[in-house]
Amino acid sequence: MKITNKPTLYWSLLKFKDWNFYIASSSKGLVFVGSQNYPFEELFEWAKKRFPGSPLVEDDEKLEPYAVEITQYLEGKRKTFTIPFEYAGTQFQLAVWNALCEIPYGQTKSYSDIANDINKPAAVRAVGTAIGANPVLITVPCHRVIGKSGSITGYRGGIEMKTRLLELEKRASSSNEE
């Protein structure tokens, strides 16, 4: 596959209450959601690896639809996302990320559950690696994957961010029983 021109990546700093993280999209959809309070370098380094040569352009207006839905989620008012994504990953990673999207809001699964869901029961470690490579935190809910024992395990955004997201969903689920 020959790429003649590199897609422009648009970015913005999403700020909501004490949440601060970078988000980025291509013309096709959301490509990156950063870690809580991480510097711009996190986005820059990721883009350099996944979209080498693509220009990074700050554009709050272009990112507004994404920021709106993520903010609604952080407010406990949104359980699913309607914004488009553009995944850049291997077939295996895509299978794992799609399986993550099937985990219902407010619920969790283990790494081995995900491995079973994609019919690769022996690939638990590879599933963990694919989850760690998820570029769109929150929107592809890798924070809903925990250890088999119920322990809060690694997360690209850090354990504190993962814990906060799980607590947010637990609170919103218990207050919004439908």
Would you state the pLDDT for residue 4? 54
Question: Using DSSP, how many helices (H) and how many strands (E) does the chain show?
Answer: 6, 6
Which helix (H) or strand (E) segment is 91 a member of?
A: helix 91-101
List pLDDT tens digits, range 40-94: 999 999 999 999 999 999 999 999 999 999 999 999 999 999 999 998 789 999 9
Active site residue 142: yes
CA distance 8 to 130: 25
Q: Phi then psi for 44, rounded to 5 degrees? A: -60, -50
**The total number of residues written for the chain in this structure:** 178
Catalytic residue among 96, 136, 140, 142: 142
